[in-house]
């Protein structure tokens, strides 16, 4: 596999800051806002966004607007046997009913994880609106899903692998793209 870094720690930090500003602008402030990260790496990204929003909007407690939404049991590939352990779903004390929920994920690819998140969300409550923030949008949608806030659009070949590393889990922040060594060079330069 040939691997190259497409976002380093400082670029990820800038992307998170920009997305936080976009979320506040779209929501006209932080009132009624809930950020729910999709585990595994969407959860720490949601926590980072909540912390940035609290820096921008004084008086906001990140813990009161941030949670995690496990989608394991809502995935459409349960029969494939490629399951990961379920992680806890945590919802801020104010709940999600009547609020604007921003789902946060690391990579948007086929859209299947977001579809599962929407199903999981509907079992918890009824938000006024649902938006989507992703660090990387790599294209190749299988479902009609589009992110509202994107850190980086990254055109890729289907054979390539996009990996997001976050310091909270992996000890470093980076986004890399890997291609099989037999892939044509043009596909790796995407």
When divided into structural domains, the chain yields a total of 1
Determine the pLDDT at residue 183. Answer: 53
Q: Is residue 167 part of a domain?
A: no
Q: Is residue 161 part of a domain?
A: no
Where in the sequence is the domain holding 43, given as residue range(s)? Answer: 7-156
According to DSSP, residue 54 is labeled H
| Helical pair 42-56 and 9-27, crossing angle rounded to 10 deg | 60
Determine the pLDDT at residue 190. Answer: 35
Q: Is residue 41 part of a domain?
A: yes
Is the pLDDT assigned to residue 31 strictly greater than 60? yes
Q: Which residue has the tokens 């998140």?
A: 117
Identify the residue with better confidence: 180 or 3: 3
Is the pLDDT assigned to residue 80 strictly greater than 60? yes
Q: Give me the mean pLDDT over the 48-53 stretch.
A: 98
Q: Do residues 41 and 90 lie in contact, with contact meaning Cβ atoms separated by under 8 Å? A: no
pLDDT digits (tens, 9 = 90+) for 122-139: 999 999 999 999 999 999
Q: Is residue 134 part of a domain?
A: yes
> What CATH number is attached to the domain comprising 92?
3.40.50.2020
Q: Is residue 181 part of a domain?
A: no
Work out the pLDDT band at 181, boundaries 50, 70, 90.
confident
Q: Which residue has the tokens 């099989």?
A: 180
Determine the pLDDT at residue 153. Answer: 97
Q: Give me the mean pLDDT over the 25-51 stretch.
A: 97
Q: What is the pTM of this model?
A: 0.92
Q: Give me the mean pLDDT over the 52-80 stretch.
A: 92
Q: Give me the mean pLDDT over the 7-24 stretch.
A: 98
Q: Is residue 16 part of a domain?
A: yes
Work out the pLDDT band at 77, boundaries 50, 70, 90.
confident
Q: Is residue 172 part of a domain?
A: no
In the numeric block, which tokens belong to residue 57?
């909007």
Determine the pLDDT at residue 1. Answer: 79
Q: Is residue 144 part of a domain?
A: yes
Determine the pLDDT at residue 187. Answer: 44
């Amino acid at each position: 596999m040939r691997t190259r870094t497409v976002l380093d720690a400082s670029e990820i930090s800038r992307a998170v800051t920009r997305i936080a500003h976009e979320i506040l602008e779209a929501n006209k402030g932080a009132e009624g806002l809930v950020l729910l990260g999709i585990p595994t790496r969407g959860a720490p990204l949601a926590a980072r966004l909540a912390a940035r929003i609290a820096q921008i909007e004084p008086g906001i407690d990140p813990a009161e607007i941030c949670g995690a939404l496990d989608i394991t049991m809502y995935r459409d590939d349960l029969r494939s046997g490629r399951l990961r352990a379920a992680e806890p779903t945590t919802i801020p004390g104010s709940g999600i009913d009547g609020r604007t929920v921003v789902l946060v994920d690391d990579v948007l690819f086929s859209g299947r994880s977001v579809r599962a998140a929407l199903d999981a969300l509907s079992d918890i409550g009824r938000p006024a609106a649902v938006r989507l923030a992703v660090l990387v949008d790599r294209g190749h949608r299988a479902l009609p899903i589009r992110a509202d806030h994107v850190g980086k659009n990254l055109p890729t070949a289907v054979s390539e692998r996009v990996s997001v590393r976050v310091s909270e889990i992996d000890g470093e922040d980076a986004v890399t793209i890997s291609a099989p060594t037999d892939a044509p060079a043009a596909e790796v330069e995407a």
